[in-house]
Amino acid sequence: MYEVTIDSERCKKDGLCAMICPVGVIQQDEKVTVPKISDEHVAHCIACGHCMAICRHGAISHSEFPATTVQAIPFEQMPKAEQVQMLLRTRRSIRAFRDKPVPKDTIETIIDGARFAPSGHNSQSTEFLVVQDRAVLNKVSVIVIEYLKFEIKRFANPLFRTVALAADRDVAESGLHEIPRFKQMVQVFESGADPILNDAPVLLAFHARRTVGFGDVNAQLALQNASLVAHALGIGHFYTGWVLAPCRAPMARAWNRRMPNLLGIPPDNNLYGALALGYPIPKFKNMIERKPPRIRWA
Ligand SMILES: Cc1cc2nc3c(=O)[nH]c(=O)nc-3n(C[C@H](O)[C@H](O)[C@H](O)COP(=O)(O)O)c2cc1C
């Protein structure tokens, strides 16, 4: 359990800590009193740090956040909304990489940004795996191609098609729809190219314990943070959905653990996302429009 205390000498009784605590650990009876720590609620503290972030008077102590780790926000360094929009609008998937390793500290900076993503109950559940070993990266692509061949073969079997359609028509139809694309990927791979990782020198995998609530969502949010930091650093990257495909394959349990096992992801963890990273060969010159948003104002 966390220890939260309020220094009544320093407290100015503005009540902001009580107002923003998401689980009611800090409560203020009246505006004129020093807020109190609720013994009943302190067990539910999610260590989000809101109380430490809001107090301007250094009146709060929290066992998770020693005072030396708390830094004032340099507001003058905040990016302008237009700068954020520019970052978002210029990020693109890069699929051609220089044969040049990405320095360790650059990868660490990307992961550092990822860990500031929101997470359900502030679980910070996402774990990171950095794969740079060329032999393992090659094996990742091989496993995906073997998996695609498996799908091509089983969907060619009329009995499997019947069973799959009966089990879940939508899933089976979408699988069938993908088969021509799978065949094309296999063909490209067999011609000597790597359509899975595009010879990226780094695979950054996002995984979490399977029992964590919203572990998958947390990982996706961390991944998107990583993507934006990578873009700001000039590191090309793309979301490698193919790497996840065997993990998500329906009615193919034997395939679901093959990629995590290759990568050494613990048995209690699921692989939820993966980014291929590297120095980009192309430099995009233009910003391209997206579809207009589909919005309903209710
Ligand atoms: C869930 C997901 C899976 C993806 N899988 C792949 C992939 O396996 N290979 C690839 O080259 N791009 C992949 N992408 C990248 C998309 O193709 C890309 O984001 C989309 O075309 C928009 O282009 P942009 O990222 O350049 O804006 C994936 C993106 C997402 C969100």
Tens digit of pLDDT for each residue in 73-123?
999 999 999 999 999 999 999 999 999 999 999 999 999 999 999 999 999
Nearest residue (by CA) to ligand 1, atom 28, is 239
Coil, helix or strand for 234? coil
- Residue 61 pLDDT > 90: yes
Q: Domain of residue 46: give its range.
A: 4-69
Q: Which atom of ligand 1 is nearest to the CA of 95?
A: 11
Q: Provide the pLDDT for residue 140.
A: 98
- Residue 255 pLDDT > 90: yes
Q: Indicate if 231 and 122 belong to the same structural domain.
A: yes
Tens digit of pLDDT for each residue in 194-232?
999 999 999 999 999 999 999 999 999 999 999 999 999
Question: Cα(148)–Cα(179) distance, rounded to whole angstroms?
Answer: 8
Question: Cα(230)–Cα(128) distance, rounded to whole angstroms?
Answer: 15
Question: Cα(195)–Cα(189) distance, rounded to whole angstroms?
Answer: 6
Q: Give the DSSP letter of residue 214.
A: T
| 255 located within any domain | yes
Task: Please identify, among 69, 93, 112, the residue that sits at the C-terminal boundary of a domain.
Answer: 69
- Residue 181 pLDDT > 90: yes
Q: Indicate if 121 and 191 belong to the same structural domain.
A: yes
Q: Indicate if 57 and 162 belong to the same structural domain.
A: no
Q: Provide the pLDDT for residue 48.
A: 96
Pocket perturbation via mutation, ligand 1, pick of 184, 188, 239 by most ligand atoms within 8 A of CB: 239
Name all residues whose Cβ lies below 6 A of ligand 1.
92-93, 95, 238-242
Q: Residue-wise over 137-174: b if at least 16 C-beta within 10 A, else e?
A: beebbebbbebbebbbebbeeeeeeeebeeeeeeebee
Mean of the pLDDT values across residues 44-70?
95
Nearest residue (by CA) to ligand 1, atom 21, is 93
Q: Residue-wise over 264-279: b if at least 16 C-beta within 10 A, else e?
A: ebeeebbbbbbbbbbb
- Residue 282 pLDDT > 90: no
Question: Cα(145)–Cα(141) distance, rounded to whole angstroms?
Answer: 6
Pocket perturbation via mutation, ligand 1, pick of 94, 197, 224, 238 by most ligand atoms within 8 A of CB: 238
Nearest residue (by CA) to ligand 1, atom 19, is 93
Element (H, E) at 5: strand 4-6
Q: Indicate if 104 and 12 belong to the same structural domain.
A: no
Q: Provide the pLDDT for residue 134.
A: 97
Q: Indicate if 62 and 110 belong to the same structural domain.
A: no
For residue 238, report the distance from its CA to the centre of ligand 1, in Å.
6
Q: Provide the domain count of the chain.
A: 2
